[in-house]
Amino acid sequence: MKGIYEILRTKRDGGELSPEEIRWLIAGVVSGEIPEYQTSAFLMASVIRGLSIAETTALTEAMRDSGDSWDLSDIAPVVDKHSTGGVGDKVTLVLAPLVAAAGGRVGMMSGRGLGHTGGTLDKLAAIPGFRTDLDKDRVRKALVEVGAALFAQTDTVAPADRTLYALRDVTATVESLSLIVASILSKKLASGTTGIVFDIKTGNGAFLKTIDQSRALGRALVDTSRAAGRQASGRITDMSRPLGRAVGNALEAEESVRVLRNE
């Protein structure tokens, strides 16, 4: 096994890291044995040289395995829908109960806002008394009894992602597609979902502004999900104008309820 210096040199020179090297690296990051300055060097080398699908898959799985992984196979299929976000994007709030009403099971480990877009958790937080801090048992119960569960990442799920993201935020490495994919999918895979549908927003109201960026991210998300053993598909949807008539977390939650009531 190479040491951290050899791993950094390999990536710096454009070489490809093995899954074993990536697992060793992430284990060292989580344990603190690899200092932040060397982790930051790995992130920058990954941005400049890029990561192959094999490396991205290995990184995703290593980040997933850095904490708890939930097993929901006994109530499968459990499907997740992930949106890259946009102004007024409230699809999750409508889609999850509709799928549950049709007999499906939707489990979504959701996140906060990114940039100018409100995240699903932000919208749910606008509903008085709505809880998203659910553990595995509560999520399982909701999926069995209701058919849908929307919940936040727990402290024990993919802890490597929190460490890496904090460094990415201060080292100008946030925009790397491979690192974005690993960050998203490590949490999705750990939450026990068996299939994922990606809604890749594009346009001036989205996080990704161009169709080429959206296609690249969508392909990387789908390819990496499938390489990790999950069923996955993606759709690129237009975000050149807000979805619906309401913008703002509380207003979007209210509009979603009206849609479900067919008002």
Nearest by Cα to 115 from 154, 87, 152, 150: 87
Q: What are phi and psi of 59, to 5 degrees?
A: -65, -45
Burial of residue 80 (number of CB atoms within 10 Å: 0-12, 13-18, 19+): buried
Distance from C-alpha of 75 to C-alpha of 81, rounded to nearest angstrom = 17
SS3 44: helix
Half-sphere exposure of 214 (CA within 13 A, CB side): 24
Distance from C-alpha of 251 to C-alpha of 263, rounded to nearest angstrom = 15
Catalytic residues: 82, 161, 168, 183, 187
What residues contact residue 96 under an 8 Å CB cut-off, 6+ apart?
Answer: 81, 106, 108, 148, 150
Q: What are phi and psi of 138, to 5 degrees?
A: -70, -40
Q: What are phi and psi of 247, to 5 degrees?
A: -130, 130
Residue-by-residue DSSP string for 55-87: HHHHHHHHHHTTS-----GGG---EEEEE--BT
